[in-house]
Structure 1
Amino acid sequence: MSAAPLPIGYLVPEFPGQTHAFFWRELSAIEESGVPVEVFSTRRPAPGSCPHGFAEAAAARTTYLFPPRGGAVAGFLAARPALLARAMAYVAGLTQTPAAQRAKLMALIASAADLVLHCRARGIDHVHIHSCANAAHVGALANILGGISYSLTLHGDLPVYGTDHGAKMARARFVSAVTAPLQASLRREIGGNLRFPVIWMGVDTARFRPAPVPRAPGGPFEVVSIARLNFTKGHRFFLRAMAKLRAEGLDIRYRIAGEGPERAAIEAEIAGLGLGPHVELLGSVGEDRVLALLQEADTLALTSIQQGEAAPVAIMEAMACGLAPVCSIIGGTPDMIRDGEDGFLVPQEDVAAIARATGILATNPLRRAAMGQAARATAERIFDHRGNALALRREILGAER
């Protein structure tokens, strides 16, 4: 009889949060496959920051590494002065990081020591970290202090996650990327013998699926966005395209789910374009509401700009619900969408292109339906969260061996 698999550690910064539905799906799928998962996070998120139904259960099972347990950590480090010196030398050697920031990063040593203690108590040999920012330093330091092996997932462009990526990744067993372009950037900028598998973030295609009863014809063309109200999400460009389409006679309504620092600017844009009666800001919404919004919509718009967008889960969820999205060419979106077949890709900030793509979907229901069916097929083939969770599980178990 084969031995039961060892538990694996799973670390997500400030878990659970507004955008963390994917992580909950992934770790649940790994557990369904028979591998226990112990959840860690850097610090507890602000109250109310996770609107999803799993928030309470997720927080209850998460071990937070900051603040670390003072007495236990102090005793651990005092008994290992040579390892403590190596950990301090690691931080001091982060030459791409300014000196003042390096001084602050010294505090991560205590959290890394606490992670080692938790892992030893629970029989964990490997921790997977869903970040390449400071949480990756915690993984490297835990490896130095206690030999805990670790792996990372890169979710966006490397510059978004700070500096000294070579140091963060040098001890990792593998660094997965959520898109092929991110994989290419890792090979180019990190290289070496490190493995860089592509493992998509996933969506529950059994749950996120087209509405059981199609929307009745007639009424306004319904567009939804599921995105934080941040500058880089580019809501203003879809609003301008919407104003253009309305001026051309298209009856279009736009609902925006998400919250963030750009709310006032977006409200001003809506007012300035005279779109007040036709746009609804919904604030943060839970996963159940996201599903309902997608099943009620005709398309999803994501007109992001600059860096940081890799493989947007909102696009996967929309495609799983049979929507052909209108999406910026950014990050890995060209790997997700076949332009004109299961969605439209538009240049960043190109209001005319956004309006043109949206207009095609709005005025040609037969083509919209065909593209929606193709989008659903793509989601089932590529984005299903269980298949991707099993791919991560295989990589982790291989790393343990």
Structure 2
Amino acid sequence: MDDLVQARWSTLAGKARRDLRLGYFVPEFPSQTHAFFWREVQGLRADGLDVRLISTRRPKHGSPHSFAAAAIGQTRYLFPPRWGAALGRLLSQPRRTLEALRYVIRLAEASPRERLRTMALIPSAADLVEFCRSEGISHVHVHSFANALHIAAIAKILGGSAYSATLHGDLSVYGTDHARKLERAAFASCVTRPLATQLATVSRSDVPVITMGVDIDRFRPLEAKTTAPDAAIRAVSVTRLNRAKGHEYFLEAMARLVADGIDLRYTIAGEGSYRASIEDVVRRLNLGDRVTLLGAISEERVLALLGESDFLVLSSFGYGEAAPVAVMEAMACGLPVICSRIGGTADMIEDGKDGLLVAQQDVDGLERAARILATDPLERERLARAARQTACRKFDYRVTAAQLAGVIRTSLAAARS
């Protein structure tokens, strides 16, 4: 009898967990950097949440990932809004509509032009309300602090679902009026401890730190690593081609090592507006036969590329970097990492133990770190083993997704009590 009772309670508990239907809101999903969002969705579903995908619009330049077609097929895009549903909501709730207009007018930190742009988001917010009602979505989690968070906040004013958000980079990157965006939010989380300090200045609630994760079963060291026929040491970067990613600083360091007779090759995966500038630097430094730009690549190709490489470089500077997933993936694959001290990278890496940290825009530091990894195979192997251990302990996507699911469930329970 006890077994039967336990089985019945387990069934009811499982049903209750699945009845929590979550809206998962990512702008321009799925773009080239969104593989980790797709992983988190799978982790949330495995934890019992019924996830519905929401986005602003489809990515402008498509997506290289194998999951893209499935993700697009599951995603409700809010730009352009469904005008019938949106106008029906706005006209049937005049008081709420006026309150939404007041929300925009009272954005004290925004310029007049920015307020007009935010005003144009109101129909999409109304569409989000109707979508959540039709799908039975009780909570919307937003992975952005920019316009997508405005949409969720306005949707709440219009009678929509509870909402929350995760901060992925410095607040200054995501516009203004963050306190207003979070005024009605159930909670706001972030992916690193430094970001929690920023977020605490605008959030009324405690700020949980929940990093994104990687599939440590898939991203793992190769049993037999491929050795290049030319025995060259191979560095790799996997990131958008943006000036703030600092490719030029590692290229300068690389040129010094090559001049000293070190056979170093560098593969850059990713696409962006800074590609031509990187190509100019490569030509200026006479590295054309040693540097390969692959463009945007799929997650499968990233996995293969990491397996072919000896270490990963992230030489970012400035603002916007938080907990780079490319670093997590490389560490999970047992790849030593050279990384700028930026955002939460010092949370992720212990310098000299499971990776190498350098100051931002520090060509000398990048040169020293790369020289160690290029010339000392025993040190490279030691850091590789430690990196894998750290990734398994900190970055398993199943653990991080369960943490997010737990905070969402707690916030909903608190709202009901």
TM-score tier after normalising by the smaller chain length:
over 0.9
Post-superposition Cα deviations, 1:49-73, rounded to whole Å, max 9, x if no partner, equal: 2101001100000001111111121
1:300 shift after superposition: 0.2
Identical counterparts, % of pairs = 54
Residue of structure 2 in register with 1:252 after alignment: 264
Q: Is the 8 A contact 2:188 2:203 kept in 1?
A: no
> What SS is found at the alignment partner of 1:280?
strand
In structure 2, the partner of 1:131 is 144
Q: State yes or no: 1:25 paired with 2:36.
A: no
* 2:213 counterpart of 1:199: no
- Selected match of 2:294 from 282, 286, 290: 282
| Aligned position for 1:44 | 58
- How do residues 119-158 of structure 1 correspond to structure 2 at under 5 angstroms? 119-158=132-171
Deviation, 1:147, is: 4.0
Deviation at 1:165, TM superposition (A): 0.4
Report the secondary structure of 1:256's partner residue.
strand
Displacement, 1:214?
A: 2.3
1:276 alignment partner, SS class:
coil
* Cα displacement (A) at 1:240: 0.4
Question: 1:108-257 residue pairs with structure 2 within 5 A?
Answer: 108-187=121-200, 189-192=201-204, 194-216=205-227, 219-257=231-269
1:102-142 per-residue CA deviation (whole Å, 9 max, x = no partner) reads: 01211111111111111111111100000001111111111
Q: Deviations over 1:28-66 (max 9, x none)?
A: 1111222110000011222x5210100110000000111
Aligned to 1:12: 26
Return the alpha-carbon distance in structure 2 between the equivalents of residues 43 and 196 of structure 1: 29
Cα distance in 2, alignment partners of residues 268 and 374 from structure 1: 36
Q: Which amino acid aligns with 1:256?
A: I
Q: Match of 1:382, as an amino acid?
A: K
- Any conservation in 2 of the 1:173–1:195 contact (CA below 8 Å)? no
Normalised TM-score (structure 2): 0.94
Paired residue secondary structure (1:277):
coil
Residue type at the aligned position of 1:99: P
Bigger mean CA deviation after superposition, 102-111 or 54-63: 102-111
Do 2:85 and 2:126's aligned partners in 1 also have CA atoms closer than 8 Å?
Answer: no
RMSD of aligned alpha carbons: 1.1
TM-score where L is the length of structure 1: 0.97
The residue identity in structure 1 corresponding to 2:100 is A
Match of 1:333 among 307, 327, 345: 345
| Distance in 1 (alpha carbons) for counterparts of 2:378 and 2:317 | 30
Distance 1:64 1:83 in 2: 23
Structure 2 equivalent of residue 372 of structure 1 = 384
